[in-house]
Amino acid sequence: MTQTEKNRAADEAQKPASRTTGDKVVIFDTTLRDGEQSPGATMTHAEKLEIAGLLDEMGVDIIEAGFPIASEGDFAAVSEIARRAENAVICGLARANLRDIDRCWEAVKHARRPRIHTFIGTSPLHRAIPNLTQDEMAERIDETVTHARNLCDDVQWSPMDATRTEWDYLARVVEIAINAGATTINIPDTVGYTAPVESADLIRRLINEVPGADEVVFSTHCHNDLGMATANSLAAVAGGARQIECTINGLGERAGNTALEEVVMAMKVRGDLMPWTTGIDTTKIMNISRRVAAVSGFAVQFNKAIVGKNAFAHESGIHQDGMLKNAETFEIMRPEDIGLAGTSLPLGKHSGRAALRAKLKELGIEVGDNQLKDIFVRFKDLADRKKEVYDDDILALVHTAGEGEEHLQLVNLKVVCGTGPAEAALEMEVGGSDHNATCQGDGPVDATFKAVRAIYPNDARLQLYQVSAVTEGADAQATVSVRLEEDGLIATGQSADTDTVVASARAYIAALNRLRTRREKLDGDVAEVSYKDLT
């Protein structure tokens, strides 16, 4: 081969196959599956339906609604999401065994556009766990993908830990999955091990070298263990992938997953370098980001890209001067692009229900009459205690709204503290009956939590207690997140109030209510999700 021919071959190797040269990138959201696997991020049935509805409305192409075999609760949620989805493909996850796949199909078959996603760990480390040889695993892949395709026309297959799988074996099993009927091949960086140049090259090689690769869509699924999930996902798209798996706020196991808002806005802002499009309505990003943070109990860090509280804040004098003269000097995107109001105008105690509804609509939130009535009552109460009620205060009221009658409810709380031990006098309703307790503790929050335990004895261990101010000022609301663990069950509660101790009590009680509900549903609800049951 001449040097010219070698150069031409090298140039061709850098191009993705023709099947993947379109500019549309499919957004596959796995907040409800991979995101919910974060310890403490478990959502209620109603919350899963709500988040799925917001994702569908925002324009997410595919919603991975859960792992149907994992529990009766997960199966019910996936089934209901499948029935309700108006636009998105609804996908369920299944291990590489027939029972998982059948259960997955039972859940997603109600969708207008169902998908089965089945996977198996292909790296040497993962093959060792079920003790399968390369040939035995290849046979398993062929059998399970074929079975899934016989049930559903849309089948996605993933070689878990693909980025640490030997190249020859990865290429072999990808070809087997394609021949068995997989329509999407997802290449997971399961432990956040790869780097952008490797991510792009791996996808490019698979597309160019595996027979039949030009007939399927390649997908990327990245974790953020080394802080490169977004970069790796975008690099994979440059290599020819046309589906990105991601989550809202980057929620996920360990350091999290690729953040939906980051990859979507990167392509929107830098279309000159990344000439790809998505179907996402970016003006809905901020609302769903806040909602996921609220229901998961995982607050968004202030300096988080796109959706962090400081993402559009400017304190430096030089920055402020530049912003006043031309916002583009220090902002590469507009707050309105992600659904933030250009200004944060306060409401007050004289504002009426119509003004509150208008403000909620401006913030991208539609509420029914009953919900508006509940929010308005609490808004008036807040306005009596604060001089000005800002947009973030309104959002806190909406996102910490109660879910109806609970077994445990705060009735009244009085706290006395000074130089000595704090004392909390608590009145709480338990199953409709009022109970009282007075306890001392090392500070007002400790005394309050002890009073709750005196009325409602429990062995729950406090894993997280987090306080953040909703707005600025001495009269700002505090948002409190509490995460509890008891007998392996984890639950999060959240509340907002101008009184931090009251917010703490409500958040603690909310977490206890969730623990109680999950404990009641535990019997017969959970199936062990492991490598052991692959047959």
Residues of each annotated binding site for Mn(2+): 34, 221, 223, 257
The number of angstroms, rounded, from the C-alpha of 176 to the middle of its chain's C-alpha atoms is 32
The structure tokens listed for 480 are: 């409190």
Q: Is the dihedral of CA 28, 31, 32, 33 positive or negative?
A: positive
**Helical segments of 1-44, H only:** 3-13
CB 74 within 8 A of CB 106: no
Q: Is the dihedral of CA 438, 440, 445, 451 positive or negative?
A: negative
Task: Tell me the sheet residues that pair with 362.
Answer: none
Residue 441 CB contacts under 8 Å (≥ 6 apart), including other chains? 421, 422, 423, 424, 447, 448, 449, 450
Q: Is the dihedral of CA 128, 129, 132, 138 positive or negative?
A: negative
Q: What Cα–Cα distance (Å) separates residue 252 from each residue in 89, 90, 257?
A: 21, 19, 5
Degrees (nearest 5) of the Cα angle 294, 295, 299?
40
CA atoms within 13 A on the CB side of 112: 10
Other Cβ atoms within 10 Å of 210 Cβ, number: 22
Distance CA 146, CA 394 (A): 51
215 secondary structure, DSSP code: G
SS3 content of the chain, % helix, strand, coil (to 5): 45, 20, 35
Task: Tell me the sheet residues that pair with 62.
Answer: 28, 89
Distance CA 390, CA 387 (A): 10
Distance CA 107, CA 90 (A): 10
Residue type present at position 91: C
Binding residues: 34, 221, 223, 257
Nearest to 91 by CA among 216, 186, 170, 231: 186
Q: Which residue has the tokens 């980057």?
A: 250
